[in-house]
């Protein structure tokens, strides 16, 4: 961990302004991801802006009939909120499938969206990694890739995004509300929030430098049956090999987003029309063009079978 | 005290304190955080500085140059010692890789420098500023690729299992060729990490040329010897203190870099230094259980009697290392006239392979006991009955040598009854509960009992308080408690009257904790010391020592009765003795046995395997404390779940290191993975083993579990996975079509 300075911001605008003043600054929320990375010198901020005191820890109803989730709402509080449990079951289940009780008590909505990959080579600073050190190469390609992406990857990076929450939010078409360093606000749909690695795997989201997340809004409830099926090597406290977030309506139509397969929550709206025909055609369309490694090709079958079991459960 | 004839009736047989399921005497200290582990010994010595170890970034080659200028200028830095500052250090007899010194790199994350600073953060930060120029050399990192070059070597795990390079009884090839039913299968087990909760940690302080280290180590006497040798100082100048150990599993049997570099750092900084290995260093700097490739051939007649048994194992290690002795149980577990075992070792440039809980048997049974399951199916026999049919009461290689006790058949029979084995479908893939395909599996558990010299000192004070001192360690196993029980039984006092002090090298040398030998031997050492003390007390009182009784805090003889404290007098009394063994272990085969039964569910859609029920029936001599023994066994069963279903150090065969070197990447079972676990101990006393008539259980609980799980997964699905761990990717292509 490099020495750093620290300040506590009181308003979102102040936080954004502080970020503008300090080019090497980072926001810190729960710290459950950032601090680990700082200890390993994977993140080396010279300044930390603590955003825990901004009062952004409420979940409010929106005039449109959805929910506005403050950026600092803890994962536990979000998962157990009565409205979330009733109307956005997929989100509640996704959150509870992630990490552990202790971590969820600390982890925040914004922090969860911005958590970084679990690619083991990213974590070992002796290894070349384009995400950690742009231009240095990708050690994962040709190495241990069982957990890596099967679709949307590039020659530069094959990492996945590890969040469960974000997969559910993608299925729900959530929108990220931000404040830029100049004080202006904007709204970024989840579909555009996380990026594919391309040539620049170190740029992971649509956020600009110093841009602050204030909230995530959920559109009005979709109804239907909501599932989050997380497949993993042990029963708890493990990142997904593959996860399926699904909202299935009575007529068999619905939405599906996948975790564990790409650099972002993976959803192909155009493929969802296939859902009524079953998991095989639907997944063929969702993962069309997938380019797995020999170690992770099983994820294609796994995703299809996980979706099949979700659809079977939906039929009851 | 020399133990060379079978034990007869002795004070332990009273079983007033020994044999009872008593709570741990160190439990309150541990649950309230008052038992300080090595890194937390803030009061042990003043003015502690922090050390941080830098590990090599390459797996094989040489260091050309190290630039420490920036690091030395970093804030708070007190001293830096690099591997180029000294020639390669000596090492202990059980270590393969050198721990420090010289430019040569033998494996990834080999320690190449220690930075000492005022704070941990400063030390870590400065370590990252050291620039190293490496010259890389190609290395051998792929066991399968090196296997054809592997040479026949003998193996001795040092922890109870061993085998010659090749051993033959009868004519294996001939018998196998003509056997009516045959199996020829190859199984693989991966590299595994001990992943103990407490990483290796040491505080070192010099006073002149005397060195004290507060550390976390299973074997105090070895540690003292090896640290002195490594540093080139006389052993009498070294003191080790390790009263609490947060798990070891064999990873702390030997001296490691934490102790060496804390000592070197403290010398350079002229201050006490504390340091710990980071998680990545636990995986790549220390030792691990090496991967194996095991070929098993079994031949039997139609009647199910084995006629031919061959078990050949290949593992890898650094030059000069040891093979994993995966075939040793196969020499003893089943009858059969024609036998072959062999061990081969490939040279690899991965980190050092060495002992991990039940070295040899743990991975060996993961193969053998699946082979037995496959053979039972080929024979159309129940796997429990097949094992019982092939039981032996003598060493199959030497029919003159009987087992001191062998209740494998009883373990299997009782286990089958308790587990509801009769409800298992012999045809796999038959039982379905919702999304789960459900199956049951069985395996035999086997682990040798080892006899090791062990000494203790027992003091008696004027209040009748008994204090035991021995360098025995409690690695979470319950040593404190069973030693207190032993002393209480021997001296005729309540448990609360006994104090136990462990883990200090200034105490008499014990057997230490390893190879499941700790409980039986260390308590036998305490027994010996108590016997000597009883004689001294009796003599002092003018009692005939053979007649003196030690009961209820009194010494009695005839109609005289003297309180113990009074007998000791104001100055107290003390006695020291040790248990040593004659040749009973040669005359009898001493082993422990178990029947492991497991039920698993396999998700029909995804292939996720989850354990639903587990039962272990153990026959392991006298159980000194059923509560702590049960804890040992359920912990071991949990480790078996890890080995069967998830644990694997992933080898990067290009760079030569274990990639998943933290607890997020190296998965061990969590609570949600462990369902109902039941443990039954058979009534057994083994007078051949020691005056305690006890044996070990801590490793037995692991031996066979992985195979029982594998067999249950097969019974659930009809899919046989012979490469551990049994993860869903190895099953998914063969799962049934979904509706
Ligand atoms: C052992 C372990 C297991 C885990 N398992 C899972 C799992 O199974 N599934 C899962 O989904 N997650 C898992 N996680 C990840 C966990 O969900 C994240 O660490 C957590 O959500 C991060 O939230 P935080 O508030 O602590 O973020 P921080 O660590 O505080 O911050 C993370 C990043 O977000 C930035 N940031 C924070 N707030 C804002 C804001 N308002 N605006 C802009 N930027 C901001 C920070 O600068 C930093 O870059 C696991 C974590 C650990 C340590
Ligand atoms: S996959 Fe991405 S994160 Fe992993 S090593 Fe390659 S560039 Fe780095």
- Does A117 reside within a domain? no
| Burial grade of B166 (CB within 10 A; 0-12, 13-18, 19 or more) | middle
Q: Quote the ligand 2 centre to B606 CA distance (angstroms).
A: 27
CA-nearest residue to B56 within chain A is A126
Tell me: the pLDDT tens digits for A238-288? Answer: 999 999 999 999 999 999 999 999 999 999 999 999 999 999 999 999 999
* For range B163-172, the mean pLDDT: 96
- Beta-carbon pairs below 8 A across chains A and B: 100
What confidence category does residue B698 fall into, taking pLDDT thresholds of 50, 70 and 90? very high
Q: Which residues pair with residue B550 across a beta bridge?
A: B555
pLDDT at residue A163 above 80? yes
Q: Residue B13 pLDDT more than 90?
A: yes
Confidence of residue B739 (pLDDT cuts 50, 70, 90): low
CA distance B722 to B730: 9
Which positions in chain A touch B669 (Cβ < 8 Å)? Answer: 234
Over residues B194-209, the mean pLDDT reads 98
pLDDT in tens, B19-32: 999 999 999 999 99
Best B76, B665, B675, B726 member to test A by mutation, with max A CBs in 10 Å, is B665
The single-letter DSSP state of residue A233 is S
Using CA atoms, how far apart are residues A150 and A161, in angstroms rounded to an integer? 12
A161 within a domain of the structure (yes/no): no
Reported as a single tens digit per residue, the pLDDT across B306-326 is 999 999 999 999 999 999 999
Chain A: residue whose CA lies nearest to B121: A1
Partners of residue A41 in chain B, C-beta under 8 Å: 125, 128
Computed over every residue of chain B, the mean pLDDT equals 97
Structure tokens at A147: 């957990």
Summarize pLDDT for B586-625 with one digit per residue, the tens. Answer: 999 999 999 999 999 999 999 999 999 999 999 999 999 9
Q: In chain B, which residues touch A (CB < 8 A)?
A: 57-58, 75, 121, 124-125, 128, 280, 435, 603-608, 610, 645-646, 650-652, 654-655, 659-662, 664-665, 667, 669-673, 725, 727-729, 732-733, 735, 738-739
For residue B305, the model assigns a pLDDT of: 98
B569: left (phi over 0), alpha (psi -120 to 50) or beta: left
User: Around Cβ B580, how many Cβ atoms within 10 Å?
Assistant: 17
Helix (H, G, I), strand (E, B) or coil at B445: strand
Q: How sure is the predictor about B738, in pLDDT bands with cuts at 50, 70 and 90?
A: confident
A31 C-alpha vs ligand 1 centroid, how far in Å?
7
Range of the domain at A26: 5-53
> How much is the ipTM here?
0.97
- A188 in a domain, yes or no? no
Q: What is the DSSP string of B640-661?
A: HHHHHHT--PPEETTTTEES--
Cβ–Cβ below 8 Å for B672 and A235: yes
Which residue is listed with tokens 């397969």? A261
With an 8 Å Cβ cutoff, are B124 and A39 in contact?
A: yes
Protein residue with its CA nearest to atom 52 in ligand 1: A99
- Mean pLDDT, to the nearest integer, of B360-384? 98
What atom in ligand 1 is closest to the CA of residue A178? 42
Domain termination site, one of A53, A73, A90: A53
Rounded to the nearest angstrom, the distance between the alpha carbon of A131 and the centre of ligand 1 is: 17
Count CB neighbours of B116 within 10 A.
30
The reply to whether A27 falls in a domain is yes
Residue B643 has pLDDT above 70, yes or no: yes
Owner of token pair 């971590």: A103
- Whether A211 shows a pLDDT value over 70: the answer reads yes
pLDDT attached to residue B361: 97
- Give the distance between the most distant pair of CA atoms in chain A: 57
What is the average pLDDT score of chain A? Answer: 97
Mean pLDDT, range B297-314, rounded to an integer = 98
For ligand 2, atom 2: residue with the closest CA: A157
CB contact under 8 A, A233 and B646: yes
| Cβ(A201) – ligand 2 distance below 6 Å | yes
Q: Which ligand is nearest to the CA of A157?
A: 2
pLDDT digits 0-9 by tens, A22-77: 999 999 999 999 999 999 999 999 999 999 999 999 999 999 999 999 999 999 99
Residue A126 domain-assigned (yes or no): no
Joined tokens for residue B544: 């005939």
Cα–Cα distance measured from residue A70 to residue A26, given in angstroms and rounded to the nearest whole number: 19
Pocket test for ligand 2, best of A159, A260, A263, A291 (most atoms within 8 A of CB): A159
Mean pLDDT, residues A109-113 taken together: 98
Tokens of B570: 């104001």
**Which of A1, A118, A233 faces B727 most closely, judged by CB atoms?**
A233
Report the CATH number at residue A289: 3.30.390.50
Number of domains in chain A: 2
* Among A28, A53, A78, residue at a domain's last position: A53
Query: Which residues are CB-contacts of B605 (< 8 A; sequence separation ≥ 6)?
Result: A305, A306, A308, A309, B435, B735, B738
Ligand 2 centroid to B126 CA: how many Å?
26
Shortest CA gap B609–chain A (Å): 8
From the CB of A128, is ligand 1 less than 6 Å away?
no
Residue nearest to atom 11 of ligand 1 (CA): A163
Distance CA B263, CA B206 (A): 8
Q: Count of residues for chain A? A: 316
In a domain, A108, yes or no: no
Three-state SS for B377-437 is: HHHCCCHHHHHHHCCCCEECCEEEEEECCCCHHHHHHHHHHHHCHHHCCCCCCCEEECCEE
Chain B nearest-CA distance from A94, in A, is 17
Q: Give the single-character DSSP code of A115.
A: P
Query: Does any ligand 1 atom lie closer than 6 A to the CB of residue A176?
Result: no
C-beta A32 within 6 A of ligand 1: yes
Residue A178 within any structural domain of the chain: no
Q: Report all structural domains of chain B as residue ranges with CATH numbers, in order of start.
A: 2-35+451-586 (3.30.365.10), 38-138+199-284 (3.30.365.10), 398-447+590-739 (3.30.365.10)
> Is residue A297 predicted with pLDDT exceeding 90?
yes
Report the percent of chain A where pLDDT is more than 70: 100
* Residue linked to tokens 């920036």: B70
The answer to whether the CB atoms of B738 and A301 lie below 8 A apart is: no
Q: Examine residue A242 and state whether it is found in any structural domain, yes or no.
A: yes
CATH of the domain at A31: 3.30.43.10
pLDDT for B158: 82
| Mean pLDDT confidence for B252-276 | 98
CB under 8 Å, gap of 24 or more: what pairs does B39-44 form?
Answer: B39/B198, B39/B201, B39/B203, B39/B274, B39/B276, B41/B203, B41/B214, B41/B274, B44/B203, B44/B205, B44/B214, B44/B241
Query: Is the pLDDT confidence value at B5 over 70?
Result: yes
Centre of ligand 2 to C-alpha B290, Å, is 28
Using DSSP's 3-state secondary structure scheme, residue B468 falls into strand
């Amino acid at each position: 961990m490099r020495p750093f300075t620290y300040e506590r911001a009181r308003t979102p605008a102040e936080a954004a302004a502080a970020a503008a003043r300090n080019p090497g600054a980072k926001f810190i929320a729960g710290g459950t991801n950032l601090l680990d990375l700082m200890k390993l010198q994977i993140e080396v901020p010279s300044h930390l802006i603590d955003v825990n005191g901004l009062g952004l820890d409420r979940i409010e109803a929106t005039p449109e009939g959805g929910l506005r989730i403050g950026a600092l709402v803890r994962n536990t509080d979000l998962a157990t909120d009565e409205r979330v449990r009733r109307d956005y079951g997929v989100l509640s289940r996704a959150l509870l499938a992630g990490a552990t009780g202790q971590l969820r008590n600390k982890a925040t909505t914004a922090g969860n969206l911005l958590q970084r990959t679990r690619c083991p080579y990213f974590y070992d600073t002796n290894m070349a990694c384009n995400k950690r050190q742009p231009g240095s190469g990708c050690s994962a390609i040709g190495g241990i890739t069982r957990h890596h992406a099967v679709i949307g990857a590039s020659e530069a990076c094959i990492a996945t995004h590890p969040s469960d929450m974000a997969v559910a939010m993608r299925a729900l078409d959530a929108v990220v509300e931000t404040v830029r360093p100049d004080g202006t606000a904007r709204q970024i749909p989840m579909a555009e929030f996380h990026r594919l690695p391309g040539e620049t795997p170190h740029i992971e989201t649509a956020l600009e430098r110093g841009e602050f997340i204030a909230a995530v809004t959920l559109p009005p409830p979709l109804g239907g049956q909501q599932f989050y099926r997380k497949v993993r090597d042990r029963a708890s406290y493990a990142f997904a090999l593959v996860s399926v977030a699904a909202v299935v309506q009575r007529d068999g139509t619905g939405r599906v987003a996948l975790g564990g397969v790409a650099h972002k929550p993976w959803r192909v709206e155009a493929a969802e029309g296939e859902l009524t025909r079953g998991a095989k055609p639907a997944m063929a369309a969702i993962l069309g063009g997938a380019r797995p490694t020999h170690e992770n090709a099983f994820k294609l079958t796994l995703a299809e079978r996980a979706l099949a079991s979700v659809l079977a459960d939906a039929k009851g | 005290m020399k133990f060379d004839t079978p034990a007869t009736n002795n004070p332990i047989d009273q079983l007033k304190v020994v044999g009872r399921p008593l709570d741990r005497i160190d439990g309150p200290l541990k649950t309230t955080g008052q038992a300080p582990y090595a890194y937390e010994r803030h009061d042990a010595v003043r003015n502690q500085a922090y050390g941080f170890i830098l590990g090599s970034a390459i797996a094989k080659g040489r260091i050309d140059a190290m630039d420490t200028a920036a690091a030395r200028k970093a804030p708070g830095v007190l001293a830096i010692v690099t591997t180029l500052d000294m020639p390669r250090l000596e090492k202990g007899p059980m270590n393969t890789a050198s721990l420090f010194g010289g430019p040569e790199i033998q494996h990834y994350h080999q320690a190449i420098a220690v930075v000492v600073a005022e704070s941990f953060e400063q030390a870590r930060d400065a370590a990252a500023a050291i620039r190293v120029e490496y010259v890389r050399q190609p290395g051998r990192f792929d066991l399968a690729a090196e296997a054809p070059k592997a040479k026949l070597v003998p193996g001795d795990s040092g922890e109870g299992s061993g085998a010659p390079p090749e051993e033959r009884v009868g004519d294996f090839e001939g018998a196998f060729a003509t056997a009516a039913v045959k199996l020829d299968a190859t199984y693989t087990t991966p590299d595994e990490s001990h992943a103990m909760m407490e990483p290796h940690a040491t505080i070192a302080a010099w006073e002149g040329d005397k060195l004290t280290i507060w550390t976390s180590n299973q074997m105090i006497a070895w540690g003292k010897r090896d640290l002195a040798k490594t540093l080139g100082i006389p052993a009498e100048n070294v003191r080790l203190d390790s009263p609490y150990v947060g798990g070891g599993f064999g990873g702390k049997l030997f001296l490691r870099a934490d102790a060496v570099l804390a000592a070197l750092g403290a010398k350079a900084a002229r201050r006490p230094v504390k340091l710990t290995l980071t998680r990545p260093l636990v995986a790549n700097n220390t030792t691990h259980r090496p991967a194996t490739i095991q070929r098993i051939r079994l031949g039997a007649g139609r009647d199910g009697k084995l006629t031919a048994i061959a078990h050949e194992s290949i593992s890898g290690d650094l030059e000069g290392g040891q093979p994993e002795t995966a075939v040793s149980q196969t020499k003893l577990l089943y009858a059969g006239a024609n036998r072959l075992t062999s061990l081969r070792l490939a040279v690899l440039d991965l980190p050092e392979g060495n002992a991990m809980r039940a070295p040899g048997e743990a991975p060996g049974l993961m193969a053998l006991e699946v082979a037995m399951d496959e053979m039972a199916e080929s024979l159309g026999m129940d796997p429990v009955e097949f094992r019982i049919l092939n039981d032996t009461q003598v060493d199959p290689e030497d029919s003159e040598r009987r087992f001191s006790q062998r209740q494998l058949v009883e373990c299997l029979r009782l286990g089958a009854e308790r587990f509801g084995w009769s409800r298992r479908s012999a045809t796999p893939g038959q039982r379905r509960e919702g999304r789960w395909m459900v199956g049951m599996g069985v395996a035999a558990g086997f682990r040798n009992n080892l006899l090791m010299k062990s000494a203790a000192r027992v003091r008696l004070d004027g209040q009748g308080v008994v204090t035991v001192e021995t360098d025995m360690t409690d690695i979470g196993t319950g040593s404190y408690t069973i030693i207190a029980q032993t002393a209480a039984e021997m001296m005729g006092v309540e448990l609360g009257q006994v104090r136990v002090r462990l883990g200090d090298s200034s105490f008499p040398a014990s057997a230490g904790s390893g190879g499941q030998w700790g409980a039986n031997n260390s308590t036998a050492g305490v027994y010996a010391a108590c016997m000597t003390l009883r004689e001294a007390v009796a003599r002092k009182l003018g009692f005939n020592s053979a007649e003196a009784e030690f009961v209820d805090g009194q010494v009695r003889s005839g109609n005289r009765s003297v309180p113990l404290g009074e007998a000791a007098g104001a100055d107290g009394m003390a006695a020291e003795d040790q248990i040593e063994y004659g040749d009973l272990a040669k005359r009898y085969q001493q082993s422990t046995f178990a029947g492991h039964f497991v039920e698993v569910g396999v998700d029909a859609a995804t292939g996720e395997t989850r354990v639903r029920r587990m039962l272990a029936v153990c026959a392991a001599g006298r159980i000194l404390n059923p509560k702590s023994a049960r804890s040992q066994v359920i912990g071991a069963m949990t480790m078996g779940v890890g080995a069967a279903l998830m644990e694997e150090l992933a080898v990067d065969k290009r760079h030569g290191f274990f990639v998943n070197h933290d607890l997020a990447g190296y998965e061990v079972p969590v609570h949600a993975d462990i369902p109902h676990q039941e443990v039954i101990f058979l009534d057994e006393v083994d007078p051949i083993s020691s005056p305690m008539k006890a044996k070990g259980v801590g490793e037995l609980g692991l031996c066979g579990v992985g195979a029982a799980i594998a067999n249950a997964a097969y019974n659930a699905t009809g899919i046989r996975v012979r490469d551990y761990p049994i993860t869903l990717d190895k099953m998914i292509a063969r799962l049934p079509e979904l509706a």
